[in-house]
Amino acid sequence: MMTEKLSFKKGKRGRAAFIICNTIFLCLLMVIMVIPLWKVIVDSLDPTSVGIRLWPKQISFYAYKTILSKKSLYLPLLVSVYTTIGATAVGLLMTTLAAYVILQKEIPGRKLMITYIMFTMLFSGGMIPAYLNIQRLGLMNNLWVIILPAGVSTYNIVLMRSFFESIPSTLYEAAELDGCTPLRTFWKIVLPLSKPALASVGLFIAVGTWNEYMPFILYMQDNTKMNFQVKVRELILQDALAGTAISASDDMLKSAVVVVVVFPFLVIYPFVQKYFTKGVTVGAVKG
Amino acid sequence: MKSNKAKSTKYVPPKKNFRQKMIDIYHYRWFYLMFLPVFLSLLIFHYFPIYGIKYAFYDYTPFKEPEWVGWENFSYLFDSARFWRAFRNTIELSLVKLVLGMVFSVGLALLIDEIKSVGFRKVTQTIVYIPHFISWVVVASIFTLFLSPQSGMVNAIITAFGGEPIYFLASDSWWRVVFQLLNIWKETGWGTIIYIAALAGVDQEMYEAAAIDGATHWQRVRHVSIPAISVTILTVFILNLAKVLNLFDSVFVLQNDSVIKSSDVIGTYVYRMGIVSADYGVSTASGLFKSVISVLLITIANHLNKKIKGEGILG
């Protein structure tokens, strides 16, 4: 990085002006980006805050209390938590297993296995055949339909493999010579050494599952099996199209469910941002 | 056999007889066991549905047994104005989204690259990435509130200046604008990551050489930075081009009956035909049509990508 000091000497003025303008522009951009989110938070707390106000005049936790007291809102939250934890665990296990097997350069049938995984990225049956398949298997209304397929993505497997490749292969060989079975090597050596990779892929799966919407709409029929995303949408749409005047408390509740659904992410995000970015750049390098 | 175990991984002769192959397979038996869950998961959730593609050639609804009709579903689709409308909308929305996303991401990446203060840079990156992680359902919810004609902030500003409130999401002319703006809001920041990484990889000596030659800062950006990331730009563009038909979630959650005309895409068309109207034959056929074109696009993209990357290394 070039080191450059802000200087107003002749000939450097244009540059200084650019740096100032750039800083101001980016600050403005961030403010504009954050306003819709900030506004939702303010509206969820302030019963009088509709319209332009960006700072709460009074604070009330009425909406949040309602969410926790109503079973119809509380249960979807549990479903979200349950599927997210389940899918992350299953997804991480499957992704690491697949990546570790593919890492074995000389395993008979390696090419076949890679093709088997890669093909899923190229071609799929589409929405309706997938729906009919789940129906035929009798898995409608079963949350495992959400949990099981969530993590097994080609992208994650490729990502994990590139991480694994950075572990020196002499470590595996040493373990093998010591009589470790591959399963044991996997548990005792590969997984502990790839914690950053696990964090990266795990976070992607977790956010993805937390944000899942369509599979619930397609495969879940029972109201008790819906996650919070579905609930948020239901609430927002309730009278959005009716065009009738909405009471302030309704608006508060709507804003509050939106806050609840993004809150867990916003809390952990600053601490785990590097894992997300790393995942993208590693994946990009490997193509 | 046990004594063979360690050896068989090492020197692999070019041709193996059956016995040796079996020994190899036995040696890797644990790995096959480890692959089993992945194999089954993909089989059940990915390969089984592919079998269901045959319904593209059947007349099939929940109330009757599937009946073979050949290409009839396809001729129905190709005669259907709604299908072509969905097709056209998909291409239009996707391409505009692709180009805008590209331009804004590259632009923002170049601006972020100009930040010299590590702290400010980090804060900027952290903030602009956030919207990417918010699901489309929630984005739609946030902006339904934000753009609401009754209580939304945008319309409050419009009415404060004496204007009439606009129902952005229910107006055919506004819907597409909002759709593109929301895509920019959500994905521009995240899109910069790859370009920022590419910019960080540019050889500093190139900038220094340009500076010695008397290049202004802008000239350095124009003639060093942008050419340096042009391969990345092209790669991202091609890979995204292969996905133009995949538009679904974002449209689905922002759509409503009053804007079907300008917002219906193949994905939502399939959903309405298949899930809402339960015409499994026609909807599978339109899904298949989309998949086949997508495979073609991916194959072409892959081919182009190899070519560009090859040239990129040589040049």
Phi, psi of B68, deg, nearest 5: -65, 125
Supply the pLDDT for residue B181.
96
**Which of B225, B234, B232 lies closest to B113 in space, CA to CA?**
B225
What's CA A251's distance to the chain center, in Å? 27
Supply the pLDDT for residue A171.
82
Residue B166 and residue B213 in one domain: yes
Domain presence at residue B64: no
Residue B85 and residue B34 in one domain: no
Please list the residues that pair with B68 across neighbouring strands.
B58
CATH number for position B189:
1.10.3720.10
Domain presence at residue B110: yes
Q: pLDDT over 90 for what percent of chain B? A: 63
* Residues in B 151-180 with any Cβ partner in A closer than 8 A: 151, 153, 156-157, 160, 170
Average pLDDT, chain B: 89
Residue B13 and residue B115 in one domain: no
CATH number of A75-286: 1.10.3720.10
Supply the pLDDT for residue B238.
86
Domain presence at residue B43: yes
pLDDT in tens, B250-295: 999 999 999 999 999 999 999 999 999 999 999 999 999 999 999 9
Domain presence at residue B112: yes
pLDDT in tens, B148-202: 888 889 999 999 998 899 999 999 989 999 999 999 999 999 999 999 999 988 8
**Which of B287, B285, B247, B276 lies closest to B264 in space, CA to CA?**
B247
CB burial string B275-305: b at 16+ within 10 A, e below:
beeebbbbbbbbbbbbbeebeebbeebeebb
**Calpha distance A34→A42 (Å, rounded):** 12
Contacts of B151 in chain A (CB under 8 A): 50-51, 246, 251
Supply the pLDDT for residue B130.
95
Please tell me whether residue B59 adopts helix, strand or coil conformation.
Answer: strand
Domain presence at residue B143: yes
Residue B294 and residue B156 in one domain: yes
**Which of B238, B244, B240 lies closest to B89 in space, CA to CA?**
B244
Supply the pLDDT for residue A62.
87
Supply the pLDDT for residue B260.
93
Any idea where the domains of chain A sit in the sequence? 15-60, 75-286
Q: How far apart are the first and last CA of chain A?
A: 26
Residue B186 and residue B269 in one domain: yes
Supply the pLDDT for residue A245.
45
Q: Does B313 touch chain A (CB under 8 A)?
A: no
Contacts of A101 in chain B (CB under 8 A): 31-32, 34-35, 38
Domain that holds residue B82: 74-314
Supply the pLDDT for residue A233.
92
Residue B39 and residue B92 in one domain: no
Supply the pLDDT for residue A2.
44
Residue B12 and residue B117 in one domain: no
Closest CA of chain B from A97, distance in Å: 6
Supply the pLDDT for residue B10.
59
Supply the pLDDT for residue B9.
58
Compare CB distances from A126 to B45, B170, B288 and report the shortest one's residue: B288
As given in the structure block, the two tokens for residue A193 are 């050494």
**Calpha distance B233→B236 (Å, rounded):** 5
Residue B244 and residue B101 in one domain: yes
**Calpha distance B271→B265 (Å, rounded):** 10
Low-confidence ranges of chain A (pLDDT < 50): 1-3, 240-246, 285-287
Count of domains observed in chain B: 2
- Are A128 and B256 in contact (CB < 8 Å)? no
Supply the pLDDT for residue A287.
38
Tell me what the mean pLDDT of segment B86-92 comes to.
96
> Is the pLDDT confidence value at B1 over 50?
no
Closest CA of chain B from A244, distance in Å: 9
